[in-house]
Structure 1
């Protein structure tokens, strides 16, 4: 099929429309004018070969579309018209050729599910974090790193107090402590120190909670209300945002561990 029949423009009450396996390169503008359309499935076409996505810019579809399925469409990038859909809640982009995801996705406050499995992403899209109430599935992308350290909270990082900074200095530089002179509350505070999973530096009340995720099981979910990531992997507490960077020697080390060494590392961590 080269094009859609004009008769579809008369489907003024259609809510769910599926146009699958038609080898379509373009979608006519009148699809975007269907006043009640909220679910549009365009899977298994060739829409990535065209640059005209004007049908998604029409007022009706921008205001009403909640689910968009663009799986297996030879997409090399996500059209800006998709990001501009006001009410989009679910976007399916599996089996394309996407290498990145735009940061502008963070501005889609109604988006709750984004699936982009089996694409060509080599760099994990850290630019999308932190996210609120969001499910992201990126399984089976050719990421260059075998593991990822991802922020686990949507809340902003709490800046360390002067009290914590002083205590961190004492712990990190192993400064001598006059136990007989310092107040008991100060000693108890120093003894409550926790250590960063990346750099082994001390921290107290201020830290970054992250989830450590293996490459081929990248399904991440932030549930409403708690702001925590759920999914595979386990939690790491880091002393600062600096220790989240994927270039860290920590990640490089883990990428070269054998399965036996990895199991030993897990045991040491817990």
Structure 2
């Protein structure tokens, strides 16, 4: 079919302002071709034309190219934009939303056609009207709300940026969805999905992922190390069967909104305080007895922890894990690695040791502890971490118990002294 380019195009007549008229001011989906027109006179040399086809004009408008280009404007070619200024008629062909490489190739062909007899140097063919599919604007949004509407034989359009498939009784994520590399929002709410494929992590632009009301029992830890950690901003896991989230969950550093309501969570991610951009967090109606120590590092706008069986905090009743005197050799070595920020990774240490080091707790003194520590539950007013707080219970409370760790008896004693003094 010769040289072709699919993009948005606008043909601006430079003479219109002279007559006090305005151009439309926006492009339309088009397919541009460089090719030859079939000449009616036998033996006459075929001329090379630029043809622009749109949905309204699929037959296309043709413009002669040889010695007819006044100027190329290519300052924004890396953004998929360029303008071809023709001498006769006096029009500017403004191109946008084009593939950068395809646009560069097309402009080179146009330049060659302008300068010489391109029929010999370019793979040209006779110009023909565009197909309807070529001039239809790519579909970016698709919503399917019933099993009858679900495509069984047809592919999803590759141009999709938003896809919702709800109430379709999906038991797993359709692998065809994982080919949609432009997806920014994927809504699979109200299905029967039990597991996520690890290849979800290949959706490099995914910002919003909704899995509300499914049968998920675990969230794959491998997804936390995928490209999603740089793109995912909103995650909705409400109404599933999750008992815990993976240790690496807090690698989702771009997360702004996290919804975990109506699951079976016994604990929150240990290092949840590392989610520095998190602003909206809800985990209502779970089975949380305490909040992790790092919860105090969050800076939220909205927080909902209603309906959890929070235990009463009593700093006077400490729990002691393993030996504190003398400290086991492993504990001493592990504390030194964390306190002195000595780099470690699975190619240096066995993976299970790396996992233990990742689970290190921070004492009130700033030091670390791993397996030997004292921990107590202290009461925290949730307004310390969030502007708006949904009441924790029907009694009007906005307080919840937070676990605090102490690396030694001395640190716990100092805390106890301060606590008793403040409560006299």
Q: TM class by shorter-chain length?
A: 0.5 to 0.7
CA distance in 1, matches of 2:423, 2:399: 11
Q: Distance in 2 between matches of 1:28 and 1:148?
A: 36
Query: Cα distance 1:109–1:54, how it changes in 2: closer, same or farther (>3 A)?
Result: closer
TM-score of the pair, normalised by structure 1: 0.54
1:96 corresponds in structure 2 to: 240
Matched length: 179
Alignment map for 1:171-186 (pairs within 5 Å): none
Corresponding residue of 2:321: none
Q: State the partner residue of 2:183.
A: 37
- Describe the SS at the equivalent of 2:254: coil
1 or 2, which has the higher helix percentage? Answer: 1
Q: Which runs of 5+ in 2 are unaligned?
A: 1-146, 300-313, 317-363, 367-377, 390-397, 413-421
Taking only aligned residues, the RMSD between alpha carbons, in angstroms, comes to 3.9
- SS at the partner of 1:129? helix
Match for residue 260 of structure 1? none
In 2: Cα distance, 1:122 partner to 1:72 partner? 19
Q: Which runs of 4+ in 1 moved over 6 A?
A: 235-238
Report the equivalent of 1:212: 380
- Give, in whole Å, the separation in 2 of the partners of 1:131 and 1:46: 29
The residue correspondences of 1:126-137 to structure 2 (distance < 5 A) are 126-134=270-278, 135-137=280-282
Whether the aligned pair in 2 keeps the contact of 1:67 and 1:89 (CA below 8 Å) is yes
2:385 is the alignment partner of 1:229: yes
Bigger RCO of structures 1 and 2 (CA < 8 A, at least 6 apart): 1
| 1:142 Cα deviation after fit | 2.1
Q: Where does the alignment leave 5 or more consecutive residues of structure 1 unmatched?
A: 156-196, 200-204, 214-219, 222-227, 249-267
Instruction: Indicate yes or no: 2:258 matched with 1:114.
Output: yes
Structure with a larger share of its residues in strand: 2
Bigger radius of gyration: 2
* Mapped contact 2:380–2:401 kept (Cα < 8 A): yes
Q: In the TM superposition, what is the alpha-carbon distance from 1:46 to its structure 2 partner?
A: 1.0
| Partner-residue secondary structure (3-state), 1:212 | strand
* Deviation at residue 133 of structure 1 after TM alignment: 2.1
Separation in 2, partners of 1:121, 1:17: 28
- Residues 242 and 116 of structure 1, relative CA distance in 2, 3 Å threshold: same
CA distance in 2, matches of 1:149, 1:26: 32
In structure 2, do the counterparts of structure 1 residues 269 and 44 end up closer, same or farther at CA, with 3 Å as the change threshold? Answer: farther
